[in-house]
Structure 1
Amino acid sequence: MEKQKKNYIDLEVWKQARILSKEIYLASSQFPKDERFGLTSQIRRAAVSIPSNIAEGCGRNYPKDSIQFFYIARGSIYEVETQLYLSYDLDFITELDLKAILMKLETTRKLLNGFINYYQTLIK
């Protein structure tokens, strides 16, 4: 029997990235209305980029190509982290919200780093 390739929607890293994106959307919905085209848009775009790039990477035929998209997802994690701190600095989110979302972000980052490490073993 042929081993079936795991679908990206079954991956814990993708599931956690979706949860993180949802949290970002919920938190940013409380941002001032005049930020709709500023920080609100930027942080949402970066958050959505994380699970999107994981999915796209999983759809590639070669591990080296996949890793490139996982690196983009990881870069978006750092982008979201920076924007969260800015949101806190501007009093758009509370310290409690910041810490809660950062915990989800860290979980996603660790899972993604492990996923990248796994894919790197496939190209050696």
Structure 2
Amino acid sequence: MPPAAAQLFGNPCACGPAQNAWAVQPAAACYQTVPVTTYVQEKQTVEVPTWETVYENREVTTLRPETVARTVEVPTVSYQNVVEYQTVNRDMGRWITRYHPVSKCSPCQIDPRPGVVG
């Protein structure tokens, strides 16, 4: 396919020599040939993997566990709660009777005991 001709590209004022910005000039258009990209459909042959399931009859040896009943003595532990009572003598304190002599003073006499009471 031939490239397209006459497509507008870039700034149209940048084509000619430097121009006075105040002067009124006719607009100049710049054209450039640009290649055009095209898409074409193609057909390709591709190999795709497939799986096929095949069943075969074969002889197979299987092992089954065979159980035999036996009586075996198994050691076991059993616990029993035991309560023991023990007599313990403890010093729990005691009452002691102490006698303090209280002297009777006559009302005119001074108490000879030291402290607040005397």
State the TM bucket, normalised to the shorter chain: under 0.3
Higher helix share: 1
Higher strand share: 2
Greater relative CO, 1 or 2 (CA 8 Å, sep 6+):
1
TM-score, normalisation: structure 1:
0.17
